[in-house]
Amino acid sequence: MKTYMAKPGQVERSWWLFDAENKIVGRLASELAVVLMGKHRATYTPHVDTGDFVVVVNADKISFTGKKWEKKTYSWYTGYPGQKTETAEKRRERHPDRILREAVRRMLPKSKLGRQMLSKLKIYASADHPHQAQNPVPRETGSPA
């Protein structure tokens, strides 16, 4: 019995469309990470990017549980002394797609392969997107492929 190992040129990629309206950030991000890594397929191979493309719409209507909009903070280093911080509520006003992108990024492998997987994630704040030609298949969260 031989174990199947996918090769980078043999992977056929699909396009999935997720609607983030009224979805909880962490639960949606974990499902997006699984699809981007390719773990939803029987041909998953850890050292090969076997994942699919993911288009997420309505990212500005995503939700947190509890009081995380006021209490959760994001911080980053600018190159000058001190760190910049902002709450999740401010970040939603300025860059609504970054909340979900950061959550998914932290669930992917921390390597070149993880960065390649993250490049297949397309997030849009509104309901329209420029990927109509790829015919993304709508997919509900919690549903098998």
Confidence at 16, pLDDT banded by 50, 70, 90: very high
Q: What are the residues whose beta carbons fall under 8 Å from the beta carbon of 65, sequence distance 6 or more? A: 24
130 φ/ψ angles, rounded to the nearest 5 degrees: -90, 20
User: The whole model's pTM is what?
Assistant: 0.92
Residue 134 CA to residue 145 CA, distance in Å, equals: 18
Mean model confidence pLDDT for the chain: 94
Residue 78 CA to residue 17 CA, distance in Å, equals: 34
The pLDDT of residue 25 is above 80 = yes
pLDDT tens for residues 65-110?
Answer: 999 999 999 999 999 999 999 999 999 999 999 999 999 999 999 9
The pLDDT of residue 145 is above 60 = no
Residue 77 CA to residue 22 CA, distance in Å, equals: 31
The pLDDT of residue 26 is above 80 = yes
pLDDT tens for residues 88-98?
Answer: 999 999 999 99
63 φ/ψ angles, rounded to the nearest 5 degrees: -130, 155
Q: Match 């850890």 to its residue by tokens.
A: 46
The pLDDT of residue 120 is above 60 = yes
3-state secondary structure of 55: strand
Residue 136 one-letter amino acid: P
Computed on alpha carbons and rounded to an integer, the radius of gyration of the chain in Å comes to 17
Task: Name the residue among 29, 45, 8 with its Cα closest to residue 118.
Answer: 29
- In the chain the domains, ranked by start, together with CATH numbers, are 14-65+97-138 (3.90.1180.10)
Instruction: Give percent above pLDDT 90 in the chain.
Output: 92
